[in-house]
Structure 1
Amino acid sequence: MSLALAEPTVLVRGRWTAAVVLANVGVFAAFLGPIQVLLAKQSEAVAADNKEFVFGLVTGIGAAVSVVANPVAGAVSDRTASRFGRRVPWVLGGALGGAAGLLVLSGASAVAVMVVGWCLVQLFCNALLAAITAAVPDRVPKLQRGVVGGWVALAQTLGALVGVGLATLVGGVGFGYIACAGFLLLSVVPYVLKSGDQRLPEKPPLVWQEFVKSFWVSPRRYPDFGWAWLTRFLLNLGNGLGTLYLFFYLQDAVEYGDPGTGVLILTAIYSLCVILTAVSSGSWSDRLGRRKVFVTWAGVVMAGGALVLAVRPTWTAAVIGAVILGIGFGVYLSVDFALLTEVLPSARDRAKDLGVINIANSLPQVIAPAIAAPVVKLFGGYPVLYALAAAITLAGAVLVNKVRSVA
């Protein structure tokens, strides 16, 4: 069997983990700087009276692109027989294309141009994400995946912090996009140069009918994969409902004077709490050999954080909510990632299968605006929105116990 398809047994070194983490920080900065601050500000500048609709339209269409881009790019990555390995070409190409999309957004003054730019970012950055995510089960043995998953979880949080920081501090929406693009390009350099990515001995034959059918992973045949997918979908939908309109929540419900700075402060607090819990909980999970109990309690804690925001739309409550959500999300991200890598059906299709899992990350971005906008406008406002987020999150926390093959 090719080394690219074998179950890894050699522990990875800190240098390799750092390169993977940095690339993840870059891609999540490219995603979350715009989502949390830049696109909201741009929507308000383009259509002040209809900012929620424009923001939801742009992010929703972009998320629809990501639903397709991530698994398709992952599947093609699995079949890439480049001399540089299966993942490196997609990491580099994704960074270049994602940076180009951010540059389009930097000069956008119309909704159509915003949609084009954000779709480019989602298309290419999801190709990058599919490849860099698959690098973990490619190279990391199971007994190390909790702690590596913890570091990867930190990458998402640090990416949010870096992205929001760049979006807020460099001065102006256009320069914010340019800064995110530059950081994205720099972030992938260590992995591209030093990944040690294993190459396939030959390019697998591509039969289009089989290729298309491969994206359906039967929950009847692979029930644990199906339950893991549903759990991640619900937890990400709850999280998406809670964070998508944070800028407008601070502006309109909390009446915070500078909502952009407020988002940055809350993101920093949230990030610190994730940092304090992610790696330690992943390592603890590795030692105990258990995953589900961590995911369940993480979801319960996250639901509690959303309820705080629902009950008390004040700045103090927002800070408390950020602390609670950060603690829960840090545990969830690290341990759930390790759980997911243990229910993948095939080593040959790791990136494709993780791409299907990543639909559970991106599909909520399509659905959340369609739910959040009418709830905020017509059905009770932000208290109802955050109560709904808590209920959905709690459902995901309970259903993870349907996974049978992982303790």
Structure 2
Amino acid sequence: MADQDSGRAAVKRQSTRFLLLYALAVAGGAVAYVPFLTILLPVRVESMAGGESVGWLAYAAFVGAIAASVANIGFGWLSDLTRDRRYWILGGLVISSILLVALRSADDLATLLGLLVLWQLGLNMMLSPLAAWAGDTVPDQQKGLLGGLLAFAPAMGALSGAVLTIPGMLSADMRMVAVAAIVATCVLPVLLFGRPVALPDLLAATTSQRNLHSGDRRRLVARMWVARLLVQIAEAALFAYLYLWLRSINPDIGDDDAAQIFFGVLFLTVPVSMLVGRWMDRNDRPIFPLGITAGISALALLGMAAAPDLALALAGYAVFGLVSHVFLSLHTAQTLRVLPRPESRGRDLGIFNLTNTVPSPIMSVLTIMLVPVFGFAGLFGLLAGLSGLACVILLTAKRASKT
């Protein structure tokens, strides 16, 4: 009897092989956009627009965010209907890779924005079903571990940016081709060799599960959505303007320097996220660490706003980058705990993904309004207030059942 019980318990856990290959695929998704949006696109825009580069980047962030929002919900919903995420992931991989390479031909703002919109559509055809696939395959008792593994994604994205921008290694056009090749190398293994353990309970939530503390659950979902939105506004600002902010402090900073700083910060995110994620699983406290990391992010942004020199500015960014990415990695996994409807998981995650895309136009407006008048210090002060509010929202949240 004991052996039978242990066998049933083992079935409730996903295989380590699938978790690792899935994390590699998510890392490939990050490689698809992190080096492009943080380094390659700003560098190209600066070479094309010169002194108008901040405005150009704001327009690019705005239209890209709208396209990504619509595509993420739409393709998530379509993958719900077909009940097979893998074909959508493969199609998005192919389309986004082709369009990323095509972006090399953009030589004016209109062409750049048009190709950027199409690329966002293809990219989210891959990313949305990929995110929902985790909800179909990873049980709650491994969500913390999953969140820790997902921290590899931004680190891989930053590493690719640091490598691709090594001076003299690749031309600007060949960097796009290299990104597409790396993404395919990361994503294809889970599609070909993943073979996840079937966990039927994750695909068929019962009526009692859906109704259990439904009011508390809805309120928790709303709090998690708003808190992530607030932190993501701050993260999006640094994501898009890290390079330009560093150059405003020290004009000698190059694109390779920015990429290496970005990677160094995110590399530290991985072990910290793994440790915190395991703590969440063992103690069944998924919300508390999210509130703490949001609060530390607010303090780090205040430090960046007040930093008098490059050394202190980088120290503030290191703390912010570390804790904000720990927050985002773990939040992504814990979101799956509060969305209990498997038949609409892709669509619902697409709606939650608005917290990733809506911040870009908000951040763009804030940047255009604040930076010309108050500089980046004024912007970071406001962002600190938003992250502090996210901390309060999460730490005062009432848990729904065992969520």
TM-score normalised to structure 1 length: 0.87
- Report if the CA contact (8 A) 1:67-1:363 is conserved: yes
Residues 2-401 of structure 1 aligned to structure 2 (within 5 Å): 10-81=12-83, 86-168=84-166, 170-196=169-195, 222-252=218-248, 254-312=249-307, 314-378=309-373, 380-400=374-394, 401=396
Give the whole-Å Cα distance in 2 for the aligned partners of 1:192 and 1:242: 33
Give the whole-Å Cα distance in 1 for the aligned partners of 2:328 and 2:44: 30
SS at structure 2 position matched to 1:316: helix
Shift in alpha-carbon separation, 1:264–1:196, aligned structure 2, 3 A: same
Worse-matched range after superposition: 239-248 or 333-342: 333-342
Q: Which has the higher helix share?
A: 2
- Report if the CA contact (8 A) 2:158-2:259 is conserved: no
Shift in alpha-carbon separation, 1:336–1:280, aligned structure 2, 3 A: same
SS at structure 2 position matched to 1:188: helix
Give the whole-Å Cα distance in 1 for the aligned partners of 2:162 and 2:353: 23
Same amino acid, percent of matched pairs: 25
Structure 1, unmatched stretches of 5+, are 1-7, 202-217
Give the whole-Å Cα distance in 2 for the aligned partners of 1:322 and 1:21: 26
SS at structure 1 position matched to 2:316: helix
Worse-matched range after superposition: 284-293 or 13-22: 13-22
Give the whole-Å Cα distance in 2 for the aligned partners of 1:394 and 1:157: 25
- Report if the CA contact (8 A) 1:147-1:334 is conserved: no
Residue identity matched to 2:242: L
SS at structure 2 position matched to 1:222: helix
Structure 2, unmatched stretches of 5+, are 1-9, 201-213
1:59 shift after superposition: 1.9
- Report if the CA contact (8 A) 2:34-2:154 is conserved: no
Give the whole-Å Cα distance in 1 for the aligned partners of 2:369 and 2:150: 34
1:156 shift after superposition: 2.5
Give the whole-Å Cα distance in 2 for the aligned partners of 1:74 and 1:219: 25
SS at structure 1 position matched to 2:221: helix
- Report if the CA contact (8 A) 1:154-1:330 is conserved: no
Shift in alpha-carbon separation, 1:288–1:219, aligned structure 2, 3 A: closer
Shift in alpha-carbon separation, 1:298–1:69, aligned structure 2, 3 A: same
- Report if the CA contact (8 A) 1:149-1:335 is conserved: yes
Residue identity matched to 1:349: S
1:329 shift after superposition: 2.5
1:212 aligned residue: none
- Report if the CA contact (8 A) 2:67-2:121 is conserved: yes
- Report if the CA contact (8 A) 1:87-1:197 is conserved: no
Worse-matched range after superposition: 298-307 or 394-403: 394-403
Give the whole-Å Cα distance in 2 for the aligned partners of 1:131 and 1:385: 34
1:219 shift after superposition: 9.1
Residue identity matched to 2:59: L
Worse-matched range after superposition: 265-274 or 54-63: 265-274
Matched residue count? 377
1:144 shift after superposition: 0.8
Give the whole-Å Cα distance in 2 for the aligned partners of 1:142 and 1:120: 35
Shift in alpha-carbon separation, 1:242–1:307, aligned structure 2, 3 A: farther
- Report if the CA contact (8 A) 1:251-1:258 is conserved: yes
Give the whole-Å Cα distance in 2 for the aligned partners of 1:163 and 1:135: 27
Shift in alpha-carbon separation, 1:69–1:149, aligned structure 2, 3 A: same
SS at structure 1 position matched to 2:174: helix
- Report if the CA contact (8 A) 2:159-2:260 is conserved: no
C-alpha distance after superposition, 1:144-183 (max 9, x if no partner): 1101111012213322332343245543321221211111
Give the whole-Å Cα distance in 1 for the aligned partners of 2:235 and 2:118: 24
Give the whole-Å Cα distance in 2 for the aligned partners of 1:187 and 1:309: 34
- Report if the CA contact (8 A) 2:266-2:322 is conserved: no
Residue identity matched to 1:78: D
Residue identity matched to 1:362: T
The alignment yields a C-alpha RMSD, in angstroms, of 2.3
1:362 shift after superposition: 1.0
SS at structure 1 position matched to 2:342: coil
1:53 shift after superposition: 0.8
Residue identity matched to 2:235: N
Shift in alpha-carbon separation, 1:392–1:295, aligned structure 2, 3 A: same
Worse-matched range after superposition: 229-238 or 318-327: 318-327
- Report if the CA contact (8 A) 2:151-2:329 is conserved: yes
C-alpha distance after superposition, 1:353-388 (max 9, x if no partner): 11111111111012211211221113x011111111
Give the whole-Å Cα distance in 1 for the aligned partners of 2:238 and 2:15: 36
Residue identity matched to 2:193: K
Shift in alpha-carbon separation, 1:104–1:313, aligned structure 2, 3 A: farther
Residue identity matched to 1:396: A
TM-score normalised to structure 2 length: 0.88
